[in-house]
Amino acid sequence: MQRTLFEKLWDQHSVSRLPDGSELIYIDRIFLHERTGCIALNGLQDSGRELRNPRQVFCTMDHIIDTFPGRTDKTLMPGGTEFITKTREAAKFFNIKLFDINDHDQGISHMVSAEQGITLPGLTVVCPDSHTCTLGALGALAWGIGTSDCEHAMATETLRVEKPKQMRVRFEGTLNPGVSSKDIIMYLIKSYGASGGQGMAIEFCGPVIQQLSMEARFTLCNMTTEFSGFTALIAPDTTTFDYLSGKTYAPKKQHWEQAIKDWKMLFSDEDAVFDAELSINCSEIIPMISWGTSPAQSVFISDRIPILQDDAKKSAAQYMNVTNEQSLINMPIQGAFIGSCTNGRLSDLQAAAEILKGHKVSPNVKAVCTPGSAQVKLEAEQMGLHKIFIAAGFEWREPGCSLCFYAGGEGFSDGQRIISTTNRNFEGRQGRGARTHIASPMMVAAAAIEGKIVDCRRYLET
């Protein structure tokens, strides 16, 4: 029978088909963080239930911790310290591996999970965090869950899941200069809406995907949750295998050999059937930027905001203080943020540094760069990237989720306009009343220099 990549993963993990049509799916890895995971661990503790397999459960600190140099358990987040200390206590109680605040391998959960080889192709991975879909880039079936389901997974090693519908998106063409995988995923969401992939397992494929680096694939898959997908998937290939080779928790020796054999079978069969198929011509894409309060409310940097027909668009425009058919170019900004599970990787920092080199951030802009993980931070520093950021006037922070969402209790102020490499431009996401424009690291770097929104391509060497 011809099967999709998703179906191969699903069938492999199906413990039992339940009478109501849902299935009991075996879970290979559970990743937690101190915001939602902590409550799940405490819930399990309170119920007196056993955590079935602590060896396959991991936890990091990323959401509550602050990202200032010299940080401790103290944080500006109201009540935040309790989350940090209780997570530490619970991790110890259940004997699970914790990537603690200042460990050399701490970082944002989805980044650590990949960097450490905890997530592998062919595994099921869950985390009480909606951006768990990031890890689908490795060919793992990885999805975000709530706290209750997380308790369920820890207590039973399974989840009850209704089989999602499946979509395939083929990315054709070639990428223009100044265009990154962030622009591709924003273009997909803009084209088909914030609920365009509602509840579906979405496989990304095509010539553009094959050429993307592992890091760029993570960025692409990361925002599948903004497309309302159940999760994203990319068939593993040599890019994937090379990335994972030698990672701490990746299989070794004969297990590695066997794994590679198994992973090479993880692709959609030629005649496999999807519930929906889309095709994107990437040659048409130029740098994107959001104008509203949903990632779908985005435009090419050269385009104008569309005519505001419905109430939702009108209210978004009002919140963002933008108007009908306005161009975003030259709009003054007060904040610029580079980081997050979307764009906090080494290649993101490199792309931004390439533009920042020899320039200064506009004096009116608070500019912050937060590497997504300690490993990224170390590599960036070894390459001297931090010097470029600092010389330009960026704050160079400790790893974590940071200003993506008021993490560490820190936000931008009411009415401030921010350009950000993050994934959500929701109302109040980066601080009450703060106006967020999401874009690629290159776009954020260029805007930080000019103090206003610009087309980053003017900074590219020709």
Considering only residues 195 through 254, tell me which ones interact with another protein, judged by CB under 8 A.
195, 198-199, 225, 228, 230, 249, 251
Residue 267 CA to residue 247 CA, distance in Å, equals 23
Task: Select from 143-151, 169-177, 213-221, 365-373 the region that touches another protein (CB under 8 A).
Answer: 143-151
Choice from 71, 73, 105, 130 touching another protein (CB under 8 A): 130
- 246 versus 409: smaller Cβ distance to another protein: 409
Reference 348, options 366, 374, 370, 365; nearest CA is 370
Task: Select from 48-56, 233-241, 280-288, 336-344 the region that touches another protein (CB under 8 A).
Answer: 48-56
48 Cβ neighbours under 8 A, 6+ residues apart: none
Q: What is the biggest distance separating any 2 CA atoms in the chain, rounded to whole angstroms?
A: 64
The yes or no reply on residue 259 touching another protein (CB under 8 A) is yes
Instruction: Judge contact between 403 and 411, C-beta under 8 A.
Output: yes
Give, as one character, the DSSP assignment of residue 333: -
- 186 versus 296: smaller Cβ distance to another protein: 296
> Least separation, in Å, of the C-beta of 421 and another protein?
17
Residue 171 CA to residue 188 CA, distance in Å, equals 10
- 86 versus 264: smaller Cβ distance to another protein: 86
The yes or no reply on residue 424 touching another protein (CB under 8 A) is yes
> Least separation, in Å, of the C-beta of 71 and another protein?
18
Strands (E), 225-281: 231-233, 276-281
Choice from 2, 95, 102, 148 touching another protein (CB under 8 A): 148
Site for another protein in 295-324 (CB under 8 A): 296, 311-312, 315
The yes or no reply on residue 340 touching another protein (CB under 8 A) is no
The yes or no reply on residue 134 touching another protein (CB under 8 A) is no
The yes or no reply on residue 78 touching another protein (CB under 8 A) is yes
- 199 versus 246: smaller Cβ distance to another protein: 199
- 80 versus 393: smaller Cβ distance to another protein: 80
Task: Select from 67-75, 122-130, 211-219, 325-333 the region that touches another protein (CB under 8 A).
Answer: 122-130
Structure tokens at 417: 């306009």
Task: Calculate the CA 254 to chain-centre distance.
Answer: 32
Choice from 170, 241, 256, 286 touching another protein (CB under 8 A): 256
> Least separation, in Å, of the C-beta of 330 and another protein?
28
Residue 365 CA to residue 356 CA, distance in Å, equals 14
Choice from 68, 71, 73, 86 touching another protein (CB under 8 A): 86
| Edge-to-edge strands, sheet with 166-172 | 231-233, 201-205, 166-172, 276-281
Site for another protein in 10-29 (CB under 8 A): 12, 15-16, 18-22, 24, 26, 28
- 155 versus 286: smaller Cβ distance to another protein: 155
Give, as one character, the DSSP assignment of residue 176: P
3-state secondary structure of 39: helix
Residue 333 CA to residue 51 CA, distance in Å, equals 48
Count of residues engaged in binding another protein, rule: CB under 8 A: 79
> Least separation, in Å, of the C-beta of 135 and another protein?
14
The yes or no reply on residue 269 touching another protein (CB under 8 A) is no
Instruction: Judge contact between 170 and 205, C-beta under 8 A.
Output: yes
Reference 417, options 330, 352, 348, 344; nearest CA is 330
- 64 versus 388: smaller Cβ distance to another protein: 64
The yes or no reply on residue 145 touching another protein (CB under 8 A) is yes
Question: Which residue type sits at 48?
Answer: G
- Asked whether the CA dihedral 207, 208, 213, 216 is positive or negative, the reply is negative
Residue 349 CA to residue 429 CA, distance in Å, equals 23
